[in-house]
Amino acid sequence: MTEQATSDDEALERMIAVRTREYRKAAGLSVGWTAQRVRISKAMLSKIENARTACSLTTLSRPARSRDVPATALLRGMDGEREAADAARA
């Protein structure tokens, strides 16, 4: 894997982590309650929210769906950031 691919992957994981935590906190939900509701462990949800794991889209979509948020909302902003990064490299 190239250095750029690794950097892009890390940026994506950070974006997902931030968005997942933002949506959970905005709903006033605890990690424990959310994890139980979406049937993943608290440890897994914590890893997602801290960008310490690359999980499947199915697992990722569970916390989003629990708040009636489409999983794609967790990726908002990535295209613009990638376009800016590509332009800067050109």
The domains found in the chain, sorted by start residue, are 3-89 (1.10.260.40)
The CA distances from residue 72 to 3, 36, 75, 88, in Å, are: 25, 22, 5, 26
Neighbours of 90 (CB within 10 A): 5
Q: Is 34 exposed, middle or buried (0-12, 13-18, 19+ CB in 10 A)?
A: buried
pLDDT digits (tens, 9 = 90+) for 27-82: 999 999 999 998 999 999 999 999 998 878 888 788 777 777 777 877 776 665 44
**Contact assessment for residue 49 and residue 17, using Cβ atoms and an 8 Å cutoff:** yes
Its pTM stands at: 0.69
